[in-house]
Amino acid sequence: MQVKQIGLLTAGGDGPGMNAAIRSVVRCALAQGFKVKGVLRGYDGLIKGEVVNLDHRSVANIINRGGTILKTARSKEIRTPAGLKKAVATIRQHELDALIAIGGDGTYRAANELFTRFHIPIVGLPGTIDNDLVGTDQTVSSNTAINTAIESIDKIRDTAHSMERIFVIEVMGNKSGFIAMQVALASGAEDVIIPEQKFNYAKLYQDMVEGNKKGKLSWMVIAAEGAAKAQDVAKRITQATGLETRYVVLGHVQRGGTPVASDRILATRLGAEAVQLIRKGKFGKAVGVLQNKIHIIDLAKARRRENLNYKENYKLLKILT
């Protein structure tokens, strides 16, 4: 079947850089003679038939904007057989000959269902702040989220240092400790709690008490949301050491803002590659980069990356602090 029209959607958590990917897909597709339609609100919009035309000008002035102009949602319905069937009906009704789905693990799972069960020609593009997908070293949005978190943590450092306080700072990342580890290394935090490795709380308390005796009064501990709640950690530190501890949950601030250059470039490259795959008739795939080279993987395999080994990074962090 010859593809004439491509449908494009963003699903799951939004992230800065998604718009740059949308722009790249739309303009690369148009340049190759495809028509492009945008599906609003991710798979929920696909189920409900929320489809709009996209042209060259629809994606003007968005390369620098956070979020997604197509809107996004976490669809529960797409996980059901009825939801999938409704999505397929929209695809047929609007003559979407192929689809590009931008998102993370959940987005890929639904895309793979559409591909394997209904033979929908579909390609995935990794867009999540969590950087937790197999088949790519980097997902679009992750670098911006890390930079945003660091900016806030640098500010916390000012007050932590001035008031000689302990701070526990919770960052996002779902079940992955990637953001937390990157942020901890880049912000000079004293410690980091991540899901991928067991954390020695007793040692932390001991270090804090000993440090306190020697005059080291300000500490920053980064907690990945998938490993510990900052509020609980702060409470436990105070109980164990008697030292006053504050906590901050950075939350959704990490998902917004202007995308950094590396996210814009990655989004642009991957958008172009996704269109290439469609042109070549290669479906059921996800685009990514490994060692900065484009890498293509089966959607079925591009699942959540688990149990990464952060021992070396952690060792380095402890040497430095």
User: Catalytic positions, please?
Assistant: 130
Confirm or reject binding of residue 16 to ligand F6P (CB under 6 A).
Answer: no
Site for ligand F6P in 259-288 (CB under 6 A): none
Site for ligand F6P in 19-48 (CB under 6 A): none
Name which of 92 and 252 has its Cβ closer to ligand F6P. 252
Name which of 10 and 174 has its Cβ closer to ligand F6P. 174
β pairing state of 166-171 and 122-126: unpaired
CB 235 within 8 A of CB 134: no
Q: Which of 35, 71, 74, 304 binds ligand F6P (CB under 6 A)?
A: 74
Name which of 242 and 251 has its Cβ closer to ligand F6P. 251
Work out how close the CB of 191 gets to ligand F6P at its nearest, in angstroms, rounded to a whole number: 20
Close Cβ partners of 142 (under 8 Å, ≥ 6 residues apart):
15, 128, 129, 130, 131, 178, 179, 263
Q: Which 3 state secondary structure label does DSSP give 214?
A: helix
d(CA 274, CA 29): 9
Confirm or reject binding of residue 172 to ligand F6P (CB under 6 A).
Answer: yes
Name which of 65 and 255 has its Cβ closer to ligand F6P. 255
| Residue 191 bridge partners (DSSP) | 221
Confirm or reject binding of residue 98 to ligand F6P (CB under 6 A).
Answer: no
Sign of CA dihedral 29, 135, 228, 210: negative
Name which of 140 and 172 has its Cβ closer to ligand F6P. 172
Confirm or reject binding of residue 131 to ligand F6P (CB under 6 A).
Answer: no
In degrees, rounded to 5, the angle at the alpha carbon of residue 223 between the alpha carbons of residues 313 and 21 is: 75
Confirm or reject binding of residue 103 to ligand F6P (CB under 6 A).
Answer: no
CB 270 within 8 A of CB 277: no
- Candidate ranges 28-36, 168-176, 194-202, 237-245; the one touching ligand F6P (CB under 6 A): 168-176
- Candidate ranges 79-87, 122-130, 192-200, 285-293; the one touching ligand F6P (CB under 6 A): 122-130
Site for ligand F6P in 191-230 (CB under 6 A): 225
Work out how close the CB of 172 gets to ligand F6P at its nearest, in angstroms, rounded to a whole number: 3
Burial class (CB in 10 A: 0-12, 13-18, 19+), 175: middle
Tokens 């020697």, residue located: 214
CA-atom Rg of the chain in angstroms? 22
Tokens 């038939």, residue located: 49
Confirm or reject binding of residue 305 to ligand F6P (CB under 6 A).
Answer: no
Tokens 């952060």, residue located: 310
Beta strands in 148-303 (DSSP E): 166-171, 191-193, 219-224, 245-249, 285-290, 293-298
Confirm or reject binding of residue 101 to ligand F6P (CB under 6 A).
Answer: no
Q: Which 3 state secondary structure label does DSSP give 58?
A: helix
Work out how close the CB of 188 gets to ligand F6P at its nearest, in angstroms, rounded to a whole number: 23
Q: Which of 104, 121, 124, 127 binds ligand F6P (CB under 6 A)?
A: 104
Confirm or reject binding of residue 129 to ligand F6P (CB under 6 A).
Answer: yes
| Residue 167 bridge partners (DSSP) | 220, 246
Binding site for ligand F6P (CB under 6 A): 13, 74, 104, 128-130, 172-174, 225, 255
